[in-house]
């Protein structure tokens, strides 16, 4: 997807902020982060 590591981390911050804003429970947050990290190699350019 041609995204830099920094851009990827900023998106994760935005995702966490959105989850916080919507009072999403910790288990769901952990699942979202696990999925996000599992896709990192497909998203971040080398």
Tell me how far apart the alpha carbons of residues 8 and 39 are, in angstroms, rounded to a whole number. Answer: 11
Average pLDDT of 1-9? 91
Per-residue pLDDT for 2 more than 90? no
Tell me how far apart the alpha carbons of residues 46 and 31 are, in angstroms, rounded to a whole number. Answer: 25
Per-residue pLDDT for 46 more than 90? no
pLDDT in tens, 13-36: 999 999 999 999 999 999 999 999
Q: Are 46 and 4 in contact (CB under 8 A)?
A: no
Q: Are 29 and 19 in contact (CB under 8 A)?
A: yes
Model confidence band, residue 45 (pLDDT cutoffs 50, 70, 90): confident
């Amino acid at each position: 997807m041609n995204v830099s590591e920094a851009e990827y981390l900023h998106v994760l911050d935005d995702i966490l902020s959105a989850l916080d804003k919507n009072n999403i429970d910790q288990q769901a947050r952990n699942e979202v982060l696990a999925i996000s990290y599992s896709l990192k190699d497909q998203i971040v350019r080398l």
